[in-house]
Amino acid sequence: MDQLAELLVLTLAAGTPLVFAALGELVTEKSGVLNLGVEGMMLVGAVTSFIVTAATGSPWLGVGAGIGAGAALSLVFAVLTLSLMANQVAAGLALSLFGVGLSAFVGLDYVSIVITGITPLAVPGLSDLPVIGKLLFGHNPLVYLSLALFAAIHWFLYRTRPGLVVRAVGESPQSAHAIGYPVVRIRYLAVMFGGACAGMGGAYLALAYTPLWTEGMTAGRGWIALALVVFATWRPWRVLAGAYLFGGVTLATFQAQAAGVSVPSQLLAMLPYLATIVVLAIISRDAVTIRRNAPASLGKPFHPG
């Protein structure tokens, strides 16, 4: 039983970077912008948070720096696509490439540094409870933060007026513009929010999950986050579930191995991507389903006439 609790804690920990990045991308896509640069933003967030933590000794300052760095990089993308009308796919790819290179470059001197990252807090008395203690109180503080972020985003998008506006902008920017909403500004904010979340996801990796810096340490998680948003049909709670599923796949293969069961790891690793394709086909297959799920203007440039 205790082992099961431990496994759940590990799964949540593994899925958390995806939760951050995918929730951020979800908000961006809800406003109608497709930002493929998640991987680059995560890495830039990771390296910035690591450097600031190493320099100041405060991992929480590092988290803040990571968030800021992700948002700053996404700003470049926003200017290109929202003000200069550049193609979103190309700009996102460029962002990814650039972010990977920039982070590797900037992080060169920090590859060997050891820092004290963010570790799970021990709540006196409560953490030691069998099973429940670990399950409820044994997580890294950033994991709790990710859950709070999920709740906040869900509430924002579906229970507040500004959230409704964001969704409206994503469905039909022309109509939103006609009503008088500042479509471009809203999209800017959505893109930067996505960047901030991606940066936080990167910071989590570098400060909490494996407290070190190494180039390319996100290992494709940014791309998985993109798939995750589609897999979750742009619904926050499905993003959460999917993130733990995707994140937990590797863990599952490891558990099997450690228990003596030999599983070809590549087959299992493929599953999340195949599943995403299937889901995509299912939700897109007719106009009604797709309108119900995907933001209609996703990826299309908007020019205020």
Partner 1 sequence: MHVPARWTALAAAAALAAAALAALPATAQPAAPAAAAPFKVGYVYVSPIGDAGWTYQHDSGRKEMEKALGGKVVSKYVESVPEGADAERVIRELAQSGHQLVFTTSFGYMNPTLKVAKAFPKTKFEHATGYKSDVNVGIYNARFYEGRYLAGIVAGKMTKTNVAGYVAAFPIPEVVMGINAFARGMRSVNPKAEVKVIWVNSWYDPGRESEAANTLISQGADVVTHHTDSTAAVQAAEAKKVHAIGYHSDMSKYGPTAQLTAVTHQWGAYYTKAVQDAMAGTWKPGNVWGGLKEGMIKMAPFNPVVPKDTQDLVNKTAADIAAGKFHPFTGPVKDNDGKERLAAGKVITDADLSKMNYYVEGVQGKLPTSK
Partner 2 sequence: MRIRLEPRPEPSRLAGWLSPLIAAAATLIVGYLLFSALGKNPWQAFHVFFVKPVATLYGIGELLLKAGPLMLCAVGLAVGYRANVWNIGAEGQLTMGAIFGGGIALALHESTSPLVLPLMIVAGALGGLAWAAIPALLRTRFNANEILVSLMLVYVAGYTLSLLVHGPWRDPEGFNFPQSKMFGDAALLPILLPETRLNWGLLLALGAVAAGWLFMRRSLAGYQMRVAGLAPAAANYAGISAPRTVWIGMLAGGACAGIAGVNEVAGPLGQLQPSVSPGYGFAAIIVAFVGRLHPVGILCASLLMSLLYLGGESAQMGLALPSAVTGLFQGALLFFLLASDVFIDYRLRLGGRRLRTRAAGMSPAPGAGR
Whether 294 contacts 283, CB under 8 Å = yes
Q: Does residue number 282 form part of the binding site for partner 2 (CB under 8 A)?
A: yes
C-beta of 249: minimal distance to partner 1 in Å? 11
Site for partner 2 in 34-73 (CB under 8 A): 34, 36, 40
Q: How far is the CB of 99 from partner 1 (least distance, A)?
A: 18
Angle value at C-alpha 206, between 98 and 157, nearest 5 degrees: 75
Residue 263 interacting with partner 2 (CB under 8 A):
no
> Helix 38-56 crosses helix 2-30 at what angle (to 10 degrees)?
120
Question: Which residue, chain included where needed, has tokens 């409820």?
Answer: 136
262 near partner 1 (CB under 8 A): yes
- Interface residue with partner 1, options 102, 131, 212, 275 (CB under 8 A): 212
Under the criterion CB under 8 A, does residue 176 sit at the interface with partner 1?
no
d(CA 178, CA 211): 49
**Which residue type does 62 have?**
G
Site string for partner 1, 74-113 (x = CB under 8 A): -------------------------------------xxx
Kindly report the number of other CB atoms within 10 A of residue 9's CB atom. Answer: 18
Distance CA 284, CA 288 (A): 9
CB of 221 to partner 2, least distance (A): 12
Binding mask 191-210 for partner 1 (x = CB under 8 A): --------------x---xx
Quote the least distance from Cβ 157 to partner 1, whole Å.
30
- Please give the Cα distance from 23 to 226 (Å, whole number): 10
Nearest approach, Cβ of residue 224 and partner 2 (Å): 8
Question: Of the candidates 33, 142, 230, 239, which one interacts with partner 2 according to CB under 8 A?
Answer: 230
Q: Which residues bind partner 1 (CB under 8 A)?
A: 3, 6-7, 10, 14, 111-114, 119, 205, 209-212, 214-215, 217, 219, 250-251, 254-255, 257-262, 264-266
